[in-house]
Every structure is written in C-alpha cells, then in structure tokens.
Amino acid sequence: MDPVPFENELTFETHRQNDTVEEFHQSYEDAVTDVRATLGKSHPLWVDGGPVDADEQFTVTSPGDFDVTIGEFAAGTPDDVDRAVRAAAAAFDEWRHTAVEERVEIFRDAVEELRERKFELAATVSLENGKNRTESIADVDEAIDFLRFYSRELERHDGYEFDTGEPTPGQHCRNLLRPYGVFGVIAPFNFPIAILAGMTTGAVITGNTAVVKPASATPLIAHKFVEILTDAGLPDGVINLVTGGGSTVGQPLVEHEDVAGIVFTGSREVGLSIERAFQDLGKRGPVIAELGGKNSVIVTTAADIQEAVSGVAMGAFSFSGQKCSATSRVYVHEDVFDQFLSRLVEKTESLGIGPAEAEETVVSPVIDDRALERYADICEQAASEGTIHTGGDVVDASDLPDGRYVEPTVVSDVPHDHALAREEHFLPFVTVHPVTDLAEAIDKANDSDYGLCAGLFSEDESEIETWFDRIDSGMCYVNRAQSATTGALVQAQPFGGWKFSGTTGKFAGGYWYLPQFMREQSRTHVRGARE
C-alpha cells in the first residue's frame, strides 16, 4: 500500500520553528490559570445525550498538588453501565446507516474545536495527570491527528466497501466491512486524551456506537472530549461516558451481553483478563488491546555516548516513566559501560523534578499512592540486591507542593533475569546491564514477554541492520537522542506491540487500525445473464 503523506499537528515544534516559543509558554500558562478557576465541580455520567447523576461520587485531586481538587465525578455502577449500553445499542442502527461523509464531517468539526481549545485541554491534562506542558500539548496534538487520520482513511477507502466484479456471468459481487455494534472503550490514565480519543474514534467513525470508561484518575479530560464530540453533532447515544472503577464499571462493561467488542489500552493483567472474559462468555467480537512494555535499549561501542545518555534519560524519566514506551532496561557494551553509566547518572541528576505546570519539569509527579508504594518497594529491592547510583527516594523539597514526587533512579548490578529488569514498573526507574557484544545484547533484549518499543545506539550500519532484523519489537528506534524509545507520530510511526504488549499485531495510528472495528461481508447478487 502506498502511504499518502499526512501532516501531523506539531504545536510546540511549530512554535519553535516560527521562533514563537514565548507565545507558546504564555498561552499554556494563561490556560492553566483559566482551567484552575473552573476546577472542583461535579460531573455526572453522560448517557444518551444527557447527564445522569449517580448515587455516589469520587474525588480526583491533582497528583502534583493535593490541594487542587480536579472535581467530583459520578461513580458509575453496573446498572449505569447497562443503561449506557442500552442507549448505545438503540443508537446503533441509525448510526451505522449514516453516510460515511456525514460521520467524517462530525469528526472534522470536532477537530476544529479541539484545535480551538488546545491549550485549555493541555492544561487540563497537566493538572489532572501531572504531564508537563510540551507532553500535554503533544497528547492533544495526537488526539487531533487520530481524528484527522482516521477520518481520512475511512473516506479514502470509501467506507471500506468495494465492487469485486462479476466472477461468472450474473454473479454481481461486493465486499465490505461492517461495524459490530456496541464497543466498550476502556482507557488508561497516561495518555488521557490521545488514547481515549484514538480508540473512541476508531470504534465510532466506523459505525459502531460506544460506551467509554476513562481511567479513574483522568475523568475530566474525558468529559471534555465527549462534550466536543457531542457539540460537533454526534447523535444521542452514539457515545456514552460512564466514569467509575475498573471492577464496578470496566468489568460489567466487558461482560455485558450487548457489548460486541472492546478496545482497551492499559496493563497486561487487565487486558488479558478482558480477553479471558470474552472467551469464557463465548463472545465472538474483537478485543483490541494495547498493553504494557519493558522496553530495552542497546548501546554499542559504535554509539555516540552522549546521544545514548540523552535518549535513555528522556526515555526513562520524562513523565516519570509512566509510559508504556518508557525505556526501562539498558544493555551497554562492557567497554563503554562505566563511561555511559557515569554520564547517565550526571544527566539524570540534572533533570528538573516538579509540578507539570513548571516550565523546567521533566520528571513530573506519579499518578497515585499505589505508584508511590511500588516505587518504595522496587527501590528497597534495588538497594539490597543491586546498586542504586542515583535516586531511590521520594523527593522531600520545601519548594514543591504537596504531591507525589520521586527521584529518577538508575540501578546496576541486578541480573538481567531479575524481576526488576523483567517486570513493568511504570515509574522513573531504569536498570543498566553490561554485555560483551551485540548478539548477547539482542538476545537479552528479546528475552522478555513484552515487545513494545526498543532502541539502539550505534553508528555502525551493519549493527543497525542486524538489530532491525533481529529485534522482537513493534516500535524500533535507532539513535534517537530526543528519547530512546518514547514518542510516535500518527501515520509515520504507527504504535503497537508484539507478544504480550498487544493482542492484534495492528497498530494505532496506522493503516490497518480501522478495519479491526468491522467485520467483512461478501455479497453476491445474481441478476441478469445466468451461468
């Protein structure tokens, strides 16, 4: 398939190229002030085009400042899920018969609104999940890209319906993809608009209807996205938002008999439990799941060490390592190991730790108390079974607000097969391991249940070719100093994982994403001349 060029929404990069970075910062800071002034409200569920109150609510506070209440959100129940699924099921027939052009137009109108409210949305992400300004704006940019790209692809493929001719006289054939029905959309906290918008758009633009369950930590940005789609003209019931917990909303949604398919991004544990539930219940629809990672980087003797250090530090520690793509284990040739490690420690100690809204912040707060507990636990293990070169503690600084700040942590002297180097921690924590050659490094990189992202630093073309050929990973990056393993642009860098990092082998933001939300139908109509 010939790729058709696609222009990504690159807000910060565009400001940099236009020499208007100051304007970018001002717009973001004004938006933070404005959004702060609107926080703390109550947010009902959104079902069948209207608000629905729940008996109970849960409170979300900012991970970077516990004094900031993001809002009170309806705690959905299995009954609320049922009501939302019924609304989505009722809306399905009309929506699936809505012309492709009409569906696409709604999503394109939503893009205009997302652009209009870009800084407000980025500020909301920062306050709600603690992501810094450039990454929050990139989160919104990616959401915009998903809407634009999927609109374009659906249109470019004429709604995935085409004439397959008349193979024998009188047999007129067509081939088409048709939506399944109601999709459950279950999203993670860490890309709370990009991933939620991408998954929702994939499900809905293809003619399905949806019940969306955002992560409990990030319901506000989900409300804003649903509001934008509703204002753009999405009919009542086509998208429904049920906030609440994994077991009280997520699981009943998965198990509901009228939910035909699930699109999920989150941990391996929950993703696999959803697959199992579908199997146990005899459901035949798709579970499109993007899961965790344990992303390796290899540094050879032919690497530019400074670039490798920069790539690993950013890959491991930006947004406090709370990315499925975060760099978490590094295999360094023994001849350059000491040099790499000492420079990585120096670079790590120079990174800004602080609230998302502060301009210099790279290492932002972690999302919840469970993350703090995991951090304490793995640092204790690393101290007793390996060597912590920097980090290992929560940050105790009087100039920081009362939030969840931890030090980025660099560890060595743990074996490659140690749990610290095998399990996903989703924290600013990286292990560094010496290797004797590229072959050993690749073997160790591949010796993982996961296969999401991988990086290599080498200037040697034959090493690069060998690595591309042998690495078991969906996303592969060579010499990426801006970040060794994180960051992907819609269309140019479709995003997804192999092995236990995903269930479908098809990637978000890529050419094969949309067809997953539909099933094929082959139509033969015998008319005219007979065989």
Which residues of this chain interact with ligand NDP, rule CB under 6 A?
186-191, 195, 213, 215-216, 245-247, 250-251, 254, 265-267, 270, 273-274, 290-293, 324, 424, 426, 452, 495, 497, 501
> Looking at 9, 135, 153, 324, which residue is catalytic?
324
Q: Minimum distance between the CB of residue 193 and ligand NDP, rounded to whole angstroms?
A: 12
Of the pair 43, 343, the CB lying nearest ligand NDP is at: 43
Which residue's CB is nearer to ligand NDP, number 390 or number 493?
A: 493
Q: Measuring CA to CA, how many Å separate 392 from each of 35, 379, 420?
A: 34, 5, 13
Q: Which is nearer to ligand NDP, 140 or 308 (CB)?
A: 140
290 is catalytic: yes
Of residues 247 and 350, the one with the C-beta less far from ligand NDP: 247
Largest CA distance in the chain: 86
CB burial readout 302-338, b (16+ within 10 A) else e: bbebebbbbbbbbbbbbbbbbbbbbbbbbbbbeebbe
Q: Which is nearer to ligand NDP, 81 or 232 (CB)?
A: 81
Active site (annotated) includes residue 407: no
Instruction: Decide the pairing of beta strands 171-179 and 429-435.
Output: unpaired
> Residue 482: how many CA atoms within 13 Å on its side-chain side?
7
Can you state the percent helix, strand and coil of the chain, rounding each to 5?
40, 20, 35
Nearer to ligand NDP (CB atom), residue 264 or residue 337: 264
Phi, psi of 184 (to 5 degrees): -90, 130
* Rounded-to-integer distance, Cα 288 and Cα 519, Å: 13
The answer to whether 339 and 308 are in contact (CB under 8 A) is: no
With H, G, I as helix, E, B as strand and everything else as coil, classify residue 190.
coil
Inter-residue contact 63 to 183 (CB < 8 Å)? no
**Cβ atoms within 10 A of the Cβ of 468, count?**
13
Q: Could you say which of 290, 357, 424, 463 is catalytic? A: 290
CA distance 103 to 95: 8
Which residues are annotated as catalytic?
A: 290, 324
